[in-house]
Structure 1
Amino acid sequence: MAIRDNLERIKERIEAACQRSGRKSSEIRLMGVSKFQSLSAIQEAWEAGLRLFGESRLQEARDKLAKRHDLFPGMELHMIGPLQRNKVRQALLLFDCIQSIDRTEVLEEIEKRHSGGPPIPILLELHTGEASKTGFPTVDALTEAVEYVLAGRACVIRGLMTMAPYTSDTSLVRQSFRTLFQAKQRLLQRFPEVDLSILSMGMSSDFEVAIEEGSTLVRIGTALFGERDKKEGQ
């Protein structure tokens, strides 16, 4: 099935999930996760109307999309994978938002490498799933991260993100998403001035559950592009 057809099917599923949960589909942003996808596949998604893309490997993203402003004017590109401190400078030059801020050390590096221009939009990642996943371990740790960002000049918080455990047990997946939503509520009580409007949660296997639990941004790879080429080590 063509990417355009996949995109339409995903939009239908988003609409159905919104109807079940009393929400509007206009509240949900759809990201195409283009990791391991070719430039031609990205072009096809672009021509189908998608404007938000996510990459999780900096070098791959730079190789494919360093000239994206010429190829895809208006594309919004987010970093969604773990960011190493030694790659922060390059990430600041390439991405419009870094979703995967998972520890204060990365925030410190951004402060050090920031050029002095507009702050970079970020999401703070909360660990809610498997032990192998990244993210701040607790809401208290998130609170400290918010305080650090507010005291600095390089970042502006736009919300939170998480990755649910990869399991067929929907109750565990739902609890993961619910944990992030509850974290947002607790943080807003402490920091009512902070923008936490983005809840980035939900991927191809679980985005409908995520929408039911409050997601405002779903990160879709396989359901949009098909199975990824795993020759690069995945």
Structure 2
Amino acid sequence: MIAAALAAVQDRINEAARAAGRDPDSVALVAVSKTHPAEAVEEAVLAGQLVFGENRVQEAKAKFPDLKARFPQLELHLIGPLQTNKVREAVALFDVIESIDRPKLARAVADEMARIGRKPRLLIQVNTGREDQKAGCDPDHVDSLITVCRDQYHLEIEGLMCIPPAEADPAPHFRLLAEMAARNGLSVLSMGMSGDYPAAIRAGATHVRVGSAIFGHRDYA
């Protein structure tokens, strides 16, 4: 079931990329495995999926060390908010941290990377809808945060990530993220989820984060 769902999602990604005049290989699928068990992740790996996203450090810590030991090529992205008290665990476990959103967090990540000598790739999360309940840097502060990360903390920021408001047309949010990335010389755009990733691909997404379309509905109980 997961293998078939993965194939269907990948076919749709390829179709959307071609329709936008893009190489399908320029769009990476991040399979969002939050709330799903390690067995589901393993099924996806055996079907050829190697890039996964998790929202919570503790859940990922319980699920992925064994998987990464058995599948060393597996790549794990943190796509949920990161608290400074979880930075040590996050830097040790994740290959990509997509949710840098404030100078204090950037400094903590830089310090921990220097301490253990591990360098996960980094993205800045942008709260494009300026939603109070959602993590992410305000769009007006993105340029200055990138400058702080680069100049003060010597962090290599690869790109930007966003989660548009649930009820909004996502296209303007994707365009905004692409504009911010372009003016800062950033090549990675993590945007688009199960319901809107074709629109994200049209706007230039390099990574789309798809969960329920692959693993099914989540049981948050």
Same fold (TM over 0.5): yes
Count residues with an aligned counterpart: 219
Instruction: Note if contact 1:160-1:199 (Cα within 8 Å) is conserved in structure 2.
Output: yes
Matches within 5 A, 1:74-223: 74-114=73-113, 115=115, 117-129=117-129, 131=131, 132-139=133-140, 141-152=141-152, 155-167=155-167, 172-188=169-185, 196-223=186-213
Paired letter, 1:176: H
Unaligned runs of 5+ in 2: none
Q: Partners of 2:201 and 2:195 in 1: how far apart?
A: 12
1:21 to partner: Cα distance: 1.0
Secondary structure in 2 matching 1:230 = coil
Secondary structure in 1 matching 2:204 = coil
**Percent of aligned pairs with the same amino acid:** 38
Instruction: Note if contact 2:107-2:153 (Cα within 8 Å) is conserved in structure 1.
Output: no
Q: Partners of 1:229 and 1:116 in 2: how far apart?
A: 35
1:40 to partner: Cα distance: 0.7
Paired letter, 2:198: E
1:72 to partner: Cα distance: 1.7
Q: Partners of 1:198 and 1:180 in 2: how far apart?
A: 10
1:29 to partner: Cα distance: 0.2
1:152 to partner: Cα distance: 4.5
Secondary structure in 2 matching 1:86 = helix
Pair 1:67–1:28, CA change in 2 (3 A): same
| RMSD over equivalenced CA pairs, Å | 1.5
Q: Partners of 2:7 and 2:85 in 1: how far apart?
A: 39
Moved more, 22-31 or 10-19: 10-19
The one of 212, 215, 218 equivalent to 1:225 is: 215
1:154 to partner: Cα distance: 6.1
Pair 1:153–1:116, CA change in 2 (3 A): farther
Instruction: Note if contact 2:96-2:120 (Cα within 8 Å) is conserved in structure 1.
Output: yes
Provide the TM-score with structure 2 as the length reference. Answer: 0.94
